[in-house]
Chain A
Amino acid sequence: MKDKIQTPPTFYTRLFRWFCKEDIYDELQGDLDEEFLFNTQKLGHKKARRLYQREVIKMVRPSIIKSLNTQQLPNNHTAMFKNYTLVALRNLGRNKLFSSINIIGLAISMVVGLIAIAFITEMNSYDDFHEHGSRIYRVVNTRTPLNETSDEYATTSVLTGRRLVNDFAGFEAVAPIYRGLSGDMTQGEVTITQRGIYTSNDFFKVFSFPLISGNPATALSDPYSVVLTEETAMKLYGKTDVVGEVIEYSNGDQLKVTGVAKNPPFHSHIQFDAIGSLETLITKNSTTVTSWGNMWSSYVYVLLPEGAKPENYQASLDQLAAEENAKVNHFQVAMGFEYLSDIVPGNGKYNQMYTIMPRKNVESIAILALIVVLSACFNYTNLSIARSVKRGKEVGVRKVVGARKTHLFSQFIVEAIFVAILALVIAILLFQVVRPGFLTLNPYMDRTTRLELTPVMYLYFFGFSLTIGFLAGCVPAMLMSKLKPVSILKGISTIKSSRRLDMRKVLIGLQFTLSMGFAVLVTLASKQYKFALSYDLGFDTENVLNVNVQGNDTELLKAAFLKVPEIKGVSTASMVPSTGSTNSDYARYKDPMDSTTAYTIDIDTEYLSNMGHELLVGENFRKGETKDKIIINELMAERLKIGSPAEALGQPLYYYDQSWTIIGVVRNFHHGTVNNKVEPFAFTSGRQNHSNLNLKLVSGDITSTMSKLEAAWKEVDPLHDFSATFYDDQIERTYSDISASVKTFGMLAGIAICISILGLLGMAVYTTESRLKELTIRKVLGATVSNLVLLLSKGFMPLFIISAAIAIPAAYLMFQRTIVKYAVYKINVGIWELSGGALLVIGIAFLTIGSQAAKAAKMNPAKNLRDQ
């Protein structure tokens, strides 16, 4: 109306233009316009707009909207596809540097992706071989001791299992499992060591562990019956047809073989070499096995009827727990159901039956892989955008000849996917190389993971590479297909937009932040690892070989080992300190109310001198006179307010339910890991059995010494294998979680740095190429090579500084939060530890840029300027 032109809503007009069939669009839009004008005059602008919007919305009906395939030209799909592949190949060939950067970068990161996929698939495939898997639940406990916080356990009492069978209806089958049929089994001359479980007949109803002989319904009915796995049967008898035979178990029981089961699959969280009947335990010792408090090594699995929900059975558990809790007073137990497939990967419950990969490991691998893969995608995106100027002419010509946006989009996507598939081939080869390293990354891995490549896995990999190709190619394809033919053909320089440059910078910045972050983290983690290993414990672990006694007589072993000339000293102890395990009780001096926690091990008379402990005052244990005698450390004397070491001699001490006389004081030492402080410590002698033997060796030929030691061992115990580890190796194993972090972050840092440097190289090549004329003219006018290098590198400097400013604090925070979260003793983090990694990355980056710039600057100016 009047002088202002009233227009219909633009968005709706565009929308309509977008979805309406071409041949009827003009007529309908005309009608809409005419009516809009009429309505504006009659009803006012606002109302007219509203009516217009409603009209457009109501246009969405089959007779009006475009059908999906009218957009594409029908006949030449395959031909165009062939052409795209051909052009993609030619482009790869033409820019060998860019192509190899893209392919190698993608391949390296894909390896991480492949590992993550294989690993996650494997973890999720755990326990999926059970026929009734969807109906199996484990009963889990939450135990709250009096006045303490509660903990979650995977175990529950055997009593729960028995009462669920006897007193509660509705369960299809209930299988209680008691861990601990572990020990030697003997048949005739053959003795083997095995690990087994006790359970009932329902075990075979709940789980799909098929028997190859024996009746699953009765095999475990009688006490003292046992079902062997094929492997165990083969080891014992050399055949699997052994039902009816009798085996001697190491506790003296005569076990009758009632069945032979197939070996449990690797991907089962329940593992066993033999299955004994639970009745055996109950007939022998019914009260402790079936008491409510004994919930530390038994499990209960239930099979619910078809279609039943576990929530409906929760009431039974609650009632059972309430009844039993009422009978005890120092703890309370709450029970719940855990779905079979939720057991692996584990969610941090205590007392799992077998090593279980924690869920947080699975998650962190997935996240790290995602980061690395995205970073490589950025590279592709970046380089493709950088090169879009060169491809612009091709796009222009294609558009002029009749290609539509969708065609160009699919062309560039096809190209990216092509690159991704090439990268996949390399990545699968690399995967085979990396696999063993990954499996030994930490102790969880090789026990729970195999990373085998199955056909399904290859399918996943292929899908993964398609996704990567699409992700990486998406942005360049969008930008390229948007280019307008007119502006391209008029002149390429006009299509450079600053927005695109910014995005590229952000992407590079992100990559460098990641690289620097990982590099700093590796530096910190490896320092901490070295620190933990070389930490002065206060006693001597060098050249000490720890031998597992395996139940033999220690005196016999000592005598046998002392015959080996390379042995400097032999001592025995109840356990190995400084490797993670501890043993403690409250100790008190005269005041009964003033006690302190004191740690202890039991040793023989040679231990202190053999291990290099320094006795400050007093004397060592004497053979035969060790009863009631105790040797403490300085701190214990201090904590118990006994006074100086000299004053402590001869003083009484109450510890482990008896009183002791202090006969010596040793210098303070570390009995724990870097996660523990120095604590009060006491040595006793003759109180416990000794399970560990320390051999102090003369340094020299380890292999020949080891074979001599093994021979000495065989004299005493021909049955078991000699099992010995160097003390230093044991300490190293104690810190395997740190070493796993070092390895993981080291690998990731390597990959991240590789990828970002590749990307940067691409960018540097591109920058120098596009500024070649400028550089040459500068050179002609008198600029030196270093001037030019500086000129080109200058632009990247702020980028690196910002990246470092983000990466360093982030890495430091992560170090504090994860790697040394529980450490009491940790490294001093100085400026070099923090900036070293970042500086290294920046250094490599400048070398990359500099080499390109120098190459350009050194060229003969005449050559570059001649053909323009």
Chain B
Amino acid sequence: MKGTHLGEFQEIILLTILVLDDDAYGVTIKREINQRVKRSISRGALHTALTRLEEKGFITSEQAEGSPERGGRPKRYYTVSNRGIEAIQEAKALRDQLWSQIPKLRLQHPYAG
């Protein structure tokens, strides 16, 4: 399991990178997560997660020239690899399957019983 398992936070990051398409680097990923998921994460936490994802081979990264607003410092762009896409699809399939198994009644009356 270890190595292929996809944590919830990591899944969100993968999806966010896909959403951002070719503008996915530290600042944008963080901002996107803050806005869409309404979750305040630190750059440090993000770094840890990105490193982990890269180790697992779910994302690849590439250094690029910096812009003036960051003092000319380089940025690192992230893209989701094929294995990464497989992994989120697998995760989605697993959930869909589980969703389909739930009896309808429960879903219509979440507080019924």
Residues of chain A touching chain B, judged by Cβ–Cβ distance below 8 Å, are 24, 26-35, 37-38, 54-55, 58-61, 63-64
Which of A24, A31, A55, A60 lies in contact with B70, CB distance below 8 A? A31
Chain A contacts for B43, CB-based, 8 A: 28, 31-32, 35, 55, 58-59
Assembled-state Cα–Cα distance A508/B60 (Å):
64
Nearest Cβ on chain B to A25's Cβ, whole angstroms: 9
B44 touching A59, Cβ below 8 Å: yes
Chain B contacts for A55, CB-based, 8 A: 42-44
Assembled-state Cα–Cα distance A30/B67 (Å):
9
Which of B48, B66, B76 lies in contact with A61, CB distance below 8 A? B48
B window 22-49: CB within 8 A of A: 25-27, 30-31, 42-45, 47-48
B69 touching A60, Cβ below 8 Å: no
Chain A contacts for B48, CB-based, 8 A: 61, 63-64
Which of A30, A38, A58, A63 lies in contact with B75, CB distance below 8 A? A30
Which of B27, B51, B74 lies in contact with A26, CB distance below 8 A? B74
Chain B contacts for A29, CB-based, 8 A: 71, 73
B69 touching A37, Cβ below 8 Å: yes
Task: Given the known inter-chain contacts A27-B75, A33-B73, please indicate yes or no for A38 contacting B26, CB distance below 8 A.
Answer: no
Chain A contacts for B26, CB-based, 8 A: 27-28, 30-31
Chain B contacts for A24, CB-based, 8 A: 47
Chain A contacts for B108, CB-based, 8 A: none
B69 touching A33, Cβ below 8 Å: yes
Assembled-state Cα–Cα distance A320/B30 (Å):
75
Which of B30, B47, B67, B73 lies in contact with A35, CB distance below 8 A? B30
Task: Given the known inter-chain contacts A26-B73, A61-B48, please indicate yes or no for A35 contacting B27, CB distance below 8 A.
Answer: yes
Residues of chain B touching chain A, judged by Cβ–Cβ distance below 8 Å, are 25-27, 30-31, 42-45, 47-48, 51, 63, 66-67, 69-71, 73-76
Could you list some 30 contacts between A and B, CB below 8 A? A26-B73, A27-B26, A27-B74, A27-B75, A28-B26, A28-B43, A29-B71, A30-B71, A31-B43, A31-B75, A33-B71, A33-B73, A34-B70, A38-B27, A38-B31, A38-B69, A55-B42, A55-B43, A58-B43, A58-B44, A58-B45, A59-B42, A59-B47, A61-B44, A61-B47, A61-B48, A63-B47, A63-B48, A64-B44, A64-B47
B73 touching A27, Cβ below 8 Å: yes
User: Looking at chain B's contact residues, is the secondary structure mostly helix, strand, loop, or mixed?
Assistant: helix
B47 touching A30, Cβ below 8 Å: no
Assembled-state Cα–Cα distance A34/B51 (Å):
21
Which of B31, B51, B66 lies in contact with A30, CB distance below 8 A? B66
For B71, the closest partner residue in chain A by CB is: A33
Nearest Cβ on chain A to B66's Cβ, whole angstroms: 6
Nearest Cβ on chain A to B65's Cβ, whole angstroms: 11
For B67, the closest partner residue in chain A by CB is: A34
Assembled-state Cα–Cα distance A87/B51 (Å):
45
For A60, the closest partner residue in chain B by CB is: B44
Chain A contacts for B71, CB-based, 8 A: 29-30, 33
Chain A contacts for B67, CB-based, 8 A: 34
- Known pairs A24-B47, A37-B69; list 16 more (Cβ under 8 Å): A26-B73, A26-B74, A27-B63, A27-B75, A29-B71, A32-B43, A33-B73, A34-B27, A35-B30, A35-B31, A38-B31, A59-B47, A61-B47, A61-B48, A64-B47, A64-B48
Assembled-state Cα–Cα distance A61/B41 (Å):
14
Assembled-state Cα–Cα distance A64/B26 (Å):
14
Nearest Cβ on chain A to B107's Cβ, whole angstroms: 39
For B26, the closest partner residue in chain A by CB is: A31
Assembled-state Cα–Cα distance A60/B48 (Å):
11
Chain A contacts for B47, CB-based, 8 A: 24, 28, 59, 61, 63-64
Assembled-state Cα–Cα distance A864/B27 (Å):
67
Assembled-state Cα–Cα distance A64/B45 (Å):
10
Most B Cβ at <10 Å: residue of A34, A35, A38: A34
Assembled-state Cα–Cα distance A724/B75 (Å):
97
Task: Given the known inter-chain contacts A35-B27, A35-B30, A63-B51, please indicate yes or no for A30 contacting B44, CB distance below 8 A.
Answer: no
Assembled-state Cα–Cα distance A518/B57 (Å):
75
Chain B contacts for A33, CB-based, 8 A: 69-71, 73
Nearest Cβ on chain A to B34's Cβ, whole angstroms: 10
Nearest Cβ on chain A to B46's Cβ, whole angstroms: 9
For B48, the closest partner residue in chain A by CB is: A63
Nearest Cβ on chain A to B6's Cβ, whole angstroms: 18
Assembled-state Cα–Cα distance A30/B47 (Å):
13
Chain A contacts for B30, CB-based, 8 A: 31, 35
Nearest Cβ on chain B to A88's Cβ, whole angstroms: 43
Nearest Cβ on chain B to A737's Cβ, whole angstroms: 66
Most B Cβ at <10 Å: residue of A24, A30, A63, A64: A30
What 7 A-B pairs have minimum CB-CB distances, sorted nearest first?
A30-B73, A58-B42, A31-B26, A30-B70, A59-B44, A34-B70, A58-B44
For B51, the closest partner residue in chain A by CB is: A63
For B52, the closest partner residue in chain A by CB is: A63
Nearest Cβ on chain A to B90's Cβ, whole angstroms: 26
Assembled-state Cα–Cα distance A837/B47 (Å):
69
Nearest Cβ on chain B to A461's Cβ, whole angstroms: 48
Nearest Cβ on chain B to A65's Cβ, whole angstroms: 10
Assembled-state Cα–Cα distance A683/B75 (Å):
106
Chain A contacts for B76, CB-based, 8 A: 27
